[in-house]
Amino acid sequence: MPVCPLDYRYGRSAVKEIFSEESRLRYMLRVEHSLIYALSKLGKVPENCSDVVARAMEEVRLERVREIEAEIRHDVMAVVRALAEKSGDCGKYIHLGATSNDIIDTATALQLKDYLAILERDLCELEDALESLALKHRDTVMLGRTHGQAAVPITFGLKMANYLAEILRHHERVLEMKNRVLVGKMLGAVGTGAAMGKDALRIQNIAMEFLGLKPEESPTQIVARDRYVELISVLGGIATSLEKFATEIRNLQRTEIGEVQEGFDTKRQVGSSTMAQKKNPIVSENICGLARVVRGFLITSHESAVLWHERDLTNSSAERFVVPHVCVLVDDMLVKMTRVFRELVVNEKRMLENLRAHEDVMAERIIMFLVSHGWSRQDAHEKIRQISMLPGRFRDNLLKDPDVGPILEETLEDLFDPVSYLGVKDSIIDAIIEKKKKMHKNCKKGVEK
């Protein structure tokens, strides 16, 4: 009976399959084969054993591994025995010189290698969606907001370009961490490689090269857990950014703001079980909730890096939860966030109405204008501050003031035009788009189902 919501509600099959029990077995078998391959290359086992074990891998069944584990109560040795059963005379060399975590941690690295390939595609897709919005709405003027209050104007395209820049930084982090995270080991019980003799490092290097992984440079019984801390921290950072974006969508969709709206299927979609008129930002809310779950695993990943001596077993059970859940959920969130941005309804008219309803946001521009006419910055700031605090319309109060009214009268309409007070937003947007184009030269497009 399914208990975890990942089993029936969250996550895509392509990602969950990577972390399934069956796939985990296949990854472990590949690692066992890599050891035999390395040993055969160095003449330490019969040369044909690599091919024999490769064929035997295909005959190992999960049901048989479960049977053996139920009897001996050791998961890795169950895999070893099941593989040995199918390997004939070569079976006696399976797992030679290795320890359980040589197999477990290296298998995890293989899982992460496949997962990160999907994650990179996810990031590319989200970046494409954000670029599209940045370009389409580079001139769609709207209120900037600080402290939840109206601030000077920005454009929706600039907001989306800033989000794009944030995701590009996460993309860089993913690329940078791969050499530190996609690491396996094959050096035995405490990392000395003693059981493998003087060729231990050669055996490890051949096995890792065969698998397309980096060898652990500082092994104990396990791969160093600061690597996992980095992985979960980077994924947690992505989740936090997605929650930030989703929170903004939720806020801008508020009835009294109404500047954007998640895509909504008006023919079939139901917004509320009682309020039939509702169009709720449910996907953005879902992303926010899942981000909190992901960040909850950050503490566990840090604590799992604190182990006794050359290792204990306290990390094992925790990591069985942490790694699959964080990976599956972050992928799920990225795909949902991409869909939100691709289907986003942008209400340009409402954005302009909200901006015009708060004309005092142009106070900064008035100050700069007065300074250009000989006022000190401090005097101009204080004068405009005093006028902004008066009841009534800000523009009218400016004209009534005997000190500034005559100076502003002829240019007031231009000074209150938000479209002409957007600074260097085009240069900022263009620079971010250019960075994205450079990064996307190696992007593999197409979100997996």
Q: What are phi and psi of 122, to 5 degrees?
A: -60, -45
* 95 annotated active-site: no
> Which residues, 6 or more positions from 182, have their beta carbon under 8 angstroms from its beta carbon?
109, 112, 113, 116, 213, 214
Tokens of 217: 């440079």
Among 291, 295, 319, 298, residue whose Cα is nearest residue 307: 319
SS3 445: coil
* 376 annotated active-site: no
Alpha carbon distance 377, 208 (integer Å): 64
Alpha carbon distance 380, 404 (integer Å): 9
Amino acid at 5: P
Among 105, 103, 112, residue whose Cα is nearest residue 76: 103
Of 20, 218, 272, 317, catalytic: 272
Alpha carbon distance 236, 297 (integer Å): 8
Give the sign of the dihedral formed by CA 286, CA 287, CA 291, CA 292. negative
Give the other-Cβ count within 10 Å of 95's Cβ.
21
> How many Cα atoms are found within 13 Å in the side-chain-facing hemisphere of 22?
6
Strand intervals (E) in 213-317: 214-215, 260-261
Cβ(326)–Cβ(232) under 8 Å? yes
Of 147, 273, 309, 372, catalytic: 147
Instruction: Using alpha carbons, list the distances in angstroms from residue 409 to 382, 384, 400, 419, 420.
Output: 19, 15, 10, 20, 18
Alpha carbon distance 76, 28 (integer Å): 8
Give the other-Cβ count within 10 Å of 198's Cβ.
7
Among 185, 168, 285, 297, residue whose Cα is nearest residue 238: 168
Q: Which single residue is written with the structure tokens 């001996």?
A: 72
Alpha carbon distance 130, 12 (integer Å): 22
Q: What are phi and psi of 34, to 5 degrees?
A: -60, -35
- Which residues carry out catalysis? 147, 272
